[in-house]
Chains A and B, each alone.
Chain A
Amino acid sequence: MFRSIRFRLALWYTIVVATTFVFVSLAIYEYINRTLSASLDQTITNEVRWIITRLEKSKLRSESRQTTREDIFEHAGFFPVKEYIEIWDSNGTLFYHSANLGDEDTLAAYAHLPLDQTFQISTITTFRNHDIRLAVQKTPVGSVFLAMPTESITAPGNQLLRIFAWLGPLVIIVAAVGGAYLARKSFSKINQVIDIAQRITADRLYDRIPEHPTDDEIGKIISTFNDMISRLDASFTQMKQFSADASHELRTPLTVMRSQLETALNSKITHLELKKIIANCLDETLRMSAIIENLLLLAKGDTGQDHLKQEKVDLGKLIRETYDESVIIASQKSITVTLDSPPHVIVSGDEQRLHQMLLNLIDNAVKYGRDRGTIFLRLNKEDGMAKIRVADDGIGISEHDMARIFDRFYRVDRARSRELGGVGLGLSIAKWIAETHGGTIGVASKVDKGSEFTVILPLSPQ
């Protein structure tokens, strides 16, 4: 529990709040002390100045010393703060000595003004039982000693410290509780994420974490996580579908073979029937080989084991060679194949694979083409891309089927495809080849009019 991020977060939160509190308290305390002591000094200086002015005035007017003394006494009496005043004549006799100083004490005993200075203010800690702030001013009319207790300025600061001392623990408790709450609150969502993540296994991939309305980190974690599950889900479903399809496709020829062979072992079978059965079984074996070969190719592509070559391929040359082969394939159905002299187009990739892709498309164009029809082969450069087109004027493909013909094992008419020796993987393979070359494959078609397959590949960088 103490190692959980949640606990550490709460702890850190508390520490930070507590430290901030202490620093702020100290700063306030210091500030108040400073301002108050500055204002005390100011008051003292003002008082000193007033006395000097009074003394100067009395000298000018040649007043009686008694009048001056009474005046100062009166002034001090009305002044709101307690002050100690002591005045020495320029000839060194004591002129004024406030009563609160008592008979024995003199302020002159506490202050030692250096010879070259006329003013000094300092804190005296040895005066009676309390600290005082003492100012000395030497003037031609005499030396003025004036002191005030510092108590008046330290009291508010101390009061404040006491309040802070009470407040401190309270603040820390509130911070700790608040921190724990905040950490809990933000982690409850994370715990939910953890819970669901633990529950999710291969067959629970439909599970999602409830979306978080705000766009904060938790929200992002949740949506990232959900995205990841969705992708896993998709590829799992695809994989399951694929292995189900593959097993289905392989079971079918196996079933035919098993039933035929069981019949063959019947002792009443005729020689001719036996030959027919063997021929059928041979066909099925070839079909299984084709399925397995194509499946292996796709599986290698899926797992990235198939290392495609990266060489410069002259598509013009390749399509011309493929054209020669397609003329032979197409001749069985008396189909004409046309190819305008193809331009010089270089792409980078695997020549053998690209050849296979073209053959798959041409194979389809022949299989699903019209007897005595035409197949158009085209190669050109467009928008900085190589564009290959294979078009036929055959049975065409409906809108609905067009979306699915690139899916593995999908055939519009299974029976027809099977009769023609197809296993429903030709277009999946063509698509895979186009895409691993950084290209795309597409189809446009109209039922009973024909189909046109277009492969677009990036040109090789020169």
Chain B
Amino acid sequence: MAKKTQRPEKNQHSISGDLIHILVVEDERHLADSIARRLQEEGYAVDVVHDGEEGFQLASSKKYQLIVLDLLLPKRDGLHVLRELRRNRVQSMILVLTAKSTVEDRVEGLRTGADDYLLKPFAFAELIARVESLLRRQGVEQSTILRVADLELDIETRNVRRSSRSIHLTAKEYLLLELLMRNKNRILTRREIAEQVWGYNFDTGTNVVDVYVNYLRKAIDEGFPKRLIHTVRGVGFILKDE
């Protein structure tokens, strides 16, 4: 059974007032729920199913802008679902989730008709970024602006402004800010930041992350009454608006 479509918290993404519908097909229930919850937070209307058969039925009968599809599914294999949907001319963008890491597997997925793939385990920020870029390709009007309080970041022009004052950032500072903003109200650990901004998958043992967070603080918080970037002692950093 498909989960009831849940009302998004804020109606940020829509085509002329209509909600953007996303279908999540993932048999790992906890994972499916986390993904759905996160997408809803972003303002999408999300349906969740846990096997390939139901996924195929729902994707064929209802018009989704995007489908998040796990490859290894009970009842009907993900690749099979993908192939059948494409044969039936279902136009939805399809983002494949796969735990298979070999190049052949990815190529096969893309050739079968996937629009993009994401290797498990992934970061939510990455998932959201992919979803947005796929929807943009789909022609869905999307705001390219991330906003926290009076801080704005345009992911297309890479312009950063706070209270209509333009802020200049270096490339790494920009990436760090985008990551923080995409994860607003959530603590990011130093290691997560190192991995997603610098691509390090190990403990660097240096305080590079701290140094850059300080640069960023100077650039966006200095001279404003309200601080946005906070240090959570012993854990990491958080960007929040309250």
Among the stretches A186-194, A258-266, A296-304, the one at the interface with B is A258-266
CB pair A254 B101 closer than 8 Å: no
Q: Which residues of B contact A248 (CB under 8 A)?
A: 72, 99-100
Who on chain A is nearest to B125 by CB?
A262
Interface string of A251-283 (1 = CB under 8 A from B): 110111111101101111000000000001000
Q: How large is the interface on A (under 10, 10 to 19, 20 to 34, 35 or more residues)?
A: 20 to 34
**Counting chain B CB atoms within 10 Å of each CB, which of A247, A248, A254, A280 scores highest?**
A248
Q: Which residues of B contact A258 (CB under 8 A)?
A: 121-123
Q: How many A-B residue pairs have CB under 8 A?
A: 71
A410 → chain B, closest Cβ, in Å?
12
CB pair A265 B50 closer than 8 Å: no
CB pair A251 B99 closer than 8 Å: yes
Known contacts A248-B100, A255-B120, A265-B186: A415-B34 contact under CB 8 Å: no
Main secondary structure of the interface of A (DSSP, over half): helix
CB pair A255 B122 closer than 8 Å: yes
CA–CA, A259 and B31, complex, Å: 6
Known contacts A267-B238, A415-B51: A254-B120 contact under CB 8 Å: yes
B32 → chain A, closest Cβ, in Å?
9
Interface string of B81-106 (1 = CB under 8 A from A): 00000000000000000011110000
Q: Which residues of A contact B34 (CB under 8 A)?
A: 256, 259-260, 262-263
CA–CA, A255 and B68, complex, Å: 15
Q: Does A413 make an interface contact (CB < 8 A)?
A: yes
Interface string of B166-196 (1 = CB under 8 A from A): 0000000000000000010111110000000
A39 → chain B, closest Cβ, in Å?
89
Number of chain B residues whose Cβ lies closer than 8 Å to a Cβ of chain A? 30
CA–CA, A57 and B67, complex, Å: 137
A180 → chain B, closest Cβ, in Å?
48
**Counting chain A CB atoms within 10 Å of each CB, which of B31, B101, B183, B238 scores highest?**
B31
**Counting chain A CB atoms within 10 Å of each CB, which of B35, B121, B122, B240 scores highest?**
B121
Known contacts A263-B34, A267-B238, A267-B240: A244-B102 contact under CB 8 Å: yes
CA–CA, A266 and B235, complex, Å: 13
Q: Does A414 make an interface contact (CB < 8 A)?
A: yes
Known contacts A265-B186, A265-B187: A254-B27 contact under CB 8 Å: no
Q: Which residues of A contact B101 (CB under 8 A)?
A: 244, 247, 251
Known contacts A262-B186, A280-B30: A251-B37 contact under CB 8 Å: no
Q: Does B212 make an interface contact (CB < 8 A)?
A: no
Q: Which residues of A contact B100 (CB under 8 A)?
A: 244, 248
Who on chain A is nearest to B41 by CB?
A266
Q: Which residues of B contact A252 (CB under 8 A)?
A: 28, 99, 120
Known contacts A254-B121, A265-B188: A259-B35 contact under CB 8 Å: yes
List 16 contacting pairs A-B, 8 Å CB cutoff, sorted by A.
Answer: A244-B100, A251-B99, A251-B101, A254-B120, A255-B99, A255-B122, A256-B31, A258-B121, A259-B30, A260-B34, A262-B123, A263-B37, A265-B189, A265-B235, A268-B185, A415-B51
Interface residues of B (CB under 8 A from A): 27-28, 30-31, 34-35, 37-38, 50-51, 72, 74, 99-102, 120-124, 183, 185-189, 235, 238, 240
Besides A255-B28, A255-B121, A415-B74, 5 more A-B contacts (Cβ < 8 Å) are A252-B120, A254-B121, A255-B122, A267-B187, A414-B72
